Amino acid sequence: MPDEPKYHAALLPPGYGAKKAGPNGHALLAIKKEFAPIFGSKLVHARHYGEQTLISGDPADTVLDRNKQERYHWTEREDGVLMGTLIVQTEDQS
């Protein structure tokens, strides 16, 4: 059985994809190349949250659960990207 990924999502600051892609690149391809292996996924899915962009391996993923509680514990990298580890939900929280 493969190891569970350490991170499940990322919140990218404005302009992150364009900066990573460079002048002739494609932002989504650069983001996929960087984050798909981290999430243990073949694809990445993007959603805008205000000025930030949520990147995850799950197309239905959200920052908050249906009770408006955070779904992730966020750790900030030096480049301003917030890396999210899924918070384990108890039966009371679901």
- Over residues 5-63, the pLDDT tens digits come to 689 999 999 989 888 887 777 888 899 999 999 999 999 999 998 899 999 999 888 99
Q: What is the DSSP letter of 43?
A: -
- Whole-model pTM: value is 0.83
Q: Which of 16-20, 58-62, 79-83, 89-93 has the lowest mean pLDDT?
A: 89-93
Q: What angle do CA 82, 71, 16 make, to 5 degrees?
A: 25
Q: Which helix (H) or strand (E) holds 10?
A: strand 9-12
